[in-house]
Structure 1
């Protein structure tokens, strides 16, 4: 039996913690266990189990949910689809709707999770201020970054997560990092617009 370790996300007393969970592969079947915030379990399952069933049908996998502990175990024989399913569940755990999270089933899409703890933001007031900067007044900053990059952004707990096509996620991540470290909103928007123009010029070959 080959054993691997996988990181799961756990929300406890308002805190996001990273725990290590074991995954196992036995011959043809693989499994992952992901710990998700308990308030996201109902979102994962959906009305009358609709969202959970759709994910199972796509991946030909089993999804078992322990509502008491917040453990989600997925098992199946298609390693590629199972990995994609794991990313979808992680996205739902970080605040995305199932419809947005399912974009990760496409080959060119990815999920980036920024931990605000990595920026020394353990103080509750500082954390609140930084999250407010990324969201902006009535959500303007988040919508602007999403619009300029074609990504989706979720601010949840002590994380800011970005979902979209790989190149776009890179630009959005840098924009969020600039806001976290104190850059002015106008400066960040201009940087994104410049990057967008350069990218289009590169695509045209000049």
Structure 2
């Protein structure tokens, strides 16, 4: 099977890495062959492996480091929230709310839910497994303007609920 996709030109270097190191590692871990030309990425291999590699490449294109993106080759998922429907000024404010002062809000959501978050361009992306839904809910709350304290309380309640059910 084959897959072709585009990623932003400024993310090609992160995908390929110095002396093709990241690309070689990705090929090894996903058992596919990857070719890059300009900002086009061509993936070839067995269907399941191509899908996994495609998700990893998409994640790198959305601002994740290859090390974090490779988590998708295992049993994690990638969710992308598109902010392009917001005005430029509103998008800037939303991005700032999600990142938080010194990156602290993003870090707290990551710590509470066990996910990775990337705010890049007009998107917010999340990589993870069981905590993805809670992280997405917290991000949506921030987009809607809910106070940070309320979002943190939601995440604390989510953790308490998980502990109560033994997850």
Distance 1:38 1:202 in 2: 45
TM-score where L is the length of structure 2? 0.96
**Structure 2 counterpart of 1:184, from 131, 147, 150:** 147
Aligned residues: 167
1:50 partner SS:
helix
Q: Structure 1: which 5+ residue stretches go unaligned?
A: 1-29
Distance 2:101 2:30 in 1: 39
CA contact (8 A) 2:82 2:124 kept: yes
**Structure 1 counterpart of 2:124, from 151, 160, 163:** 160
Higher relative contact order (CA 8 A, sep 6+): 2
Q: What's the offset of the Cα at 1:62?
A: 1.5
**Structure 1 counterpart of 2:56, from 85, 88, 92:** 88
1:62 partner SS:
strand
Q: What's the offset of the Cα at 1:102?
A: 0.6
Deviations 1:38-79 (A, max 9, x none): 000011000100111111122332111111xx1101011x21
TM-score where L is the length of structure 1? 0.79
Distance 2:113 2:90 in 1: 27
Q: What's the offset of the Cα at 1:201?
A: 0.7
1:96 partner SS:
coil
Larger radius of gyration: 1
Q: Structure 2: which 5+ residue stretches go unaligned?
A: none
Q: Please state which structure has a larger fraction of its residues in strand.
A: 1
Matches within 5 A, 1:1-206: 30-67=1-38, 70-76=39-45, 78-107=46-75, 109-117=76-84, 120-121=85-86, 123-165=87-129, 167-203=130-166
Runs of 4+ in structure 1 displaced over 4 angstroms? none
Over the aligned positions, Cα root-mean-square deviation in angstroms equals: 1.1
CA contact (8 A) 2:30 2:73 kept: no
Deviations 1:106-144 (A, max 9, x none): 12x111100013xx30x2111101100000111111111
